[in-house]
Amino acid sequence: MSPIRTRAALLAPAMVILLFAAAGPLVIVLIYSFLTPGDYGGVIWDFSTDAWFGVLAERDFFTEELSWADAHLMVFWRSIKLSLMTAFLSLIIGFPTAYFIATRPRGSRDVWMLLIMIPFWTNLLIRTFAIMELIRNEGTINTVLIAMGLVTQPVQMLYTEFSLLVGMTYVYLPLMILPIYASMERIDFSLVEAGYDLYATRWQVLRRVIFPLVKPGVVAGSILVFVPCLGAYVTPRVLGGGKQLMLGNLIELQFGQLRNWPLGAALSLTLLVIVMVALIFYVRAAGNEESAHG
Amino acid sequence: MIEIDNVSKLFGAGDSAFRALDRVSVNIRENEFFTLLGPSGCGKTTLLRMIAGFEGPTSGQILLDGQDLSDKPPYRRPVNTVFQSYALFPHMSVAENVGFGLNMLGRSKSEVAATVTEMLKLVRMTDLADRKTSEISGGQQQRVALARALAPRPKVLLLDEPLSALDFKLRKEMQLELKRLQSDTGITFVFVTHDQEEALTMSDRIAVMSAGRIRQIGGPREIYDQPADRFVADFIGDTNFLPAEMIARTGDSAQLRLAQGVEVTARAGQIDKTSGTVTLAIRPEHARLVAPDAGQLTGVLDEIVYFGTDTHYHILLDGFGTRFVLRLQNTPDEMRMMQQGDRVGVALAASAGQVLKD
């Protein structure tokens, strides 16, 4: 086979999967978002922009008056806010963890990484229910707090944004630790010594030497946490209890109970756009700072 | 200036602990090019890292200008290091690397800029100031590492085998360059190497180390001509060791009898014996190849090795059972018509040898 044909053959399986599993469904979603909802789910093949209209606005049923779709905006805002907070919290927790592991002797690093990865390999539902068991009103934390006499009433943690933040941070933390650890492990430790030698304090070494060198890992980790958080479904479903909807739950609602497939499709594509915009913005920001450093 | 007082360093604990340094004491003087020389694992790098502050002594103390350094972290010591791997910051330009120390010391922008310019000029790297450190050659990285360590004007500059990664020619060049920098800046240099030739060329004084101990401290000439013990004599340059019997001693002069019944005079060195079996050390260039009946010792020429500038003659001495290596400089107008298997004589230069502790 010619080199070009060999390359094509190597690429073919991935292309087939992308075509049928990503590009194809995406086109279908795009088409559905411009159709009319059927009475019992599904779509009627009548062109309509109502769904896209409905993403941001709503029309009063009787007066036909237009207003912002506050409920949707609320969910957008909550999704973006919680995803950013989760990424930030994961960074705060993940960075020192990665540093700790990367500075262990070579042999024990793999053990530490395994400990980080084991929860990640456990079923998502099980992990989420474990968190629920910890923070629900009759759960471990509240039981201990009450037994110690610190509170008289159980502290409401479940079904709040707090519970979503805790749950998603717990679930996605390994995705932050892994890339930071990977770039941290490659650092030549004599660079750190050189920093100390040249009068940099611990904090300055961290900020001026270590952080710039692991920044690619931090960027990758932040993206890996932020993006799945935006579309998270299971965690907000279990820990938000239908009260704290996120984008994923809102979309599910349209395809399920509300039987508005076109709106669901439009919301899905909106999510995709938000992710893309966020990524472009983030990568640009990270890149600019890089070139400013020279 | 630097007093290293009875310093020991153990790695690990209990019986399995490794003693990297064993009661080492040495004074390094102001404005001196001081070299720690020894084979790998002798503790020289550990000692250097202790002066820098990366390791603490298990016992003993290190003083700089009379001040105990024990509780001072590396960033509070007026000491800078040139690392073996150079350890240049890959995310900074050449100029940013050189200015790093001064920035950390909180110097003004204009002062940093002026010093960086001056330092880059000193190491002849002005043209490459804005390059990334990954875009310059090994020799250039070496110069940047030097400039970076010199920029904060440390009292002491530590150099950890900085030339080992360079090729032969560049290494020779940098040896002279380092020597020049040391006398230009007046900063005390503490240089670690396992290359004895490098140590002899550059140093004001050398400490020869082995197995965590200092075996001898002295000027290059003293170390070479009057090695304190067999290890030093063997490690620095080539040496022939001959078993001998001491028959008389007056001051620094010892009368010895060698295996062939020959009597020679040698320096007694640091040995306190006046009789008994000793070892005589003779440098290969302190003997001449002569006719079998014209020298003190006789033997058979076993091997001739050509080195360009000189030739090494390996001689199996009669009655010794050891080889004697003799080094003669090659001259253009001379052809030595020696062949393997020839019987030859060896003439020792007057009082050429040194008696060693055995």
Any CB–CB contact under 8 A between A200 and chain B? yes
> Is residue A236 in a domain?
yes
Q: Over range A200-211, report the average pLDDT.
A: 94
- Residues of A in Cβ contact (< 8 Å) with B73: 196
Q: Write out pLDDT tens, residues A227-268.
A: 999 989 989 999 988 788 899 999 999 998 888 999 999 999
Say yes or no to pLDDT of A109 above 80.
Answer: yes
User: What is the least distance, in Å, from the CA of A109 to any CA of chain B?
Assistant: 20
> Is residue A38 in a domain?
no
> Is residue A11 in a domain?
no
The reported pLDDT for the residue numbered B70 is 85
- Residues of A in Cβ contact (< 8 Å) with B148: 198
Mutation pick from A199, A218, A289 vs chain B, by most beta carbons of B within 10 Å, is A199
**8 Å CB contact between A183 and A211:** no
Percent of chain B predicted with pLDDT > 70: 98
The reported pLDDT for the residue numbered A293 is 47
> Is residue A36 in a domain?
no
The reported pLDDT for the residue numbered A193 is 94
**B336 or A31: which leads in pLDDT:** A31
pTM here? Answer: 0.81
In angstroms, rounded to a whole number, what is the distance separating the alpha carbons of residues A126 and A130? 6
A292 band by pLDDT with thresholds 50, 70 and 90: very low
ipTM: 0.83
Q: Write out pLDDT tens, residues A79-96.
A: 999 999 999 999 999 999
A165-168: list long-range contacts, CB under 8 Å, 24+ apart.
A165/A82, A165/A85, A165/A86, A165/A89, A166/A131, A166/A135, A166/A239, A167/A128, A167/A131, A167/A235, A167/A236, A167/A238, A167/A239, A168/A82, A168/A83, A168/A86, A168/A229, A168/A232, A168/A235, A168/A236
Q: Write out pLDDT tens, residues B10-66.
A: 998 877 888 899 999 999 999 999 999 999 989 999 999 999 999 999 999 999 999
> Is residue A142 in a domain?
yes
The reported pLDDT for the residue numbered B307 is 86
The reported pLDDT for the residue numbered A294 is 38
Say yes or no to pLDDT of A221 above 70.
Answer: yes
Give the domain range for residue A145: 70-292
The reported pLDDT for the residue numbered B124 is 87
Percent helix, percent strand, percent coil in chain B, to nearest 5: 30, 35, 35
User: What is the least distance, in Å, from the CA of B134 to any CA of chain A?
Assistant: 13
Say yes or no to pLDDT of B135 above 70.
Answer: yes
Give the CATH architecture of domain B2-230.
Answer: 3-Layer(aba) Sandwich (3.40)
The reported pLDDT for the residue numbered B38 is 94
> Is residue A280 in a domain?
yes
Q: Write out pLDDT tens, residues B309-357.
A: 888 889 988 877 788 898 888 877 665 677 888 888 888 877 678 888 6
> Is residue A32 in a domain?
no
Q: For residue A171, count other CB atoms closer than 10 A to its CB.
A: 23
> Is residue A253 in a domain?
yes
The reported pLDDT for the residue numbered A290 is 52
Burial degree of B9 (CB within 10 A; 0-12, 13-18, 19+): buried
Q: Write out pLDDT tens, residues B207-266.
A: 999 999 999 999 999 999 888 888 999 999 888 998 888 888 887 888 888 877 888 888
**8 Å CB contact between B239 and B282:** yes
Strands B79-82 and B156-160: parallel
- B225: nearest Cα among B297, B312, B286: B286
Any CB–CB contact under 8 A between A204 and chain B? yes
Considering only CB atoms, A191 lies closest to which of B54, B84, B87, namely B87
Summary mean pLDDT of chain B: 89
Contact B101 A199 (CB under 8 A): yes
Look up the CATH superfamily of B238-356.
Answer: Nucleic acid-binding proteins (2.40.50.140)
Domain count along chain A = 1
Which structure tokens are listed for B130? 């804005």
Q: Where in chain B is the domain with CATH 3.40.50.300?
A: 2-230
B170 band by pLDDT with thresholds 50, 70 and 90: confident
Mutation pick from B100, B112, B133, B159 vs chain A, by most beta carbons of A within 10 Å, is B100
CATH value at residue A88: 1.10.3720.10
A289 band by pLDDT with thresholds 50, 70 and 90: low
Percent of chain B predicted with pLDDT > 90: 52
**DSSP string of chain A?**
--HHHHHHHHHHHHHHHIIIIIIHHHHHHHHHTTSEEPBTBSEES----HHHHHHHEEE-TTT--EEE-HHHHHHHHHHHHHHHHHHHHHHHHHHHHHHHHHTS-HHHHHHHHHHHHHHHHS-HHHHHHHHHHHHSTTSHHHHHHHHTTS-SSPP--TTSHHHHHHHHHHHHHHHHHHHHHHHHHTS-HHHHHHHHHTT--HHHHIIIIIHHHHHHHHHHHHHHHHHHHHT--HHHHHHHTTTS--HHHHHHHHHTTT--HHHHHHHHHHHHHHHHHHHHHHHHHHHHHHHHT-
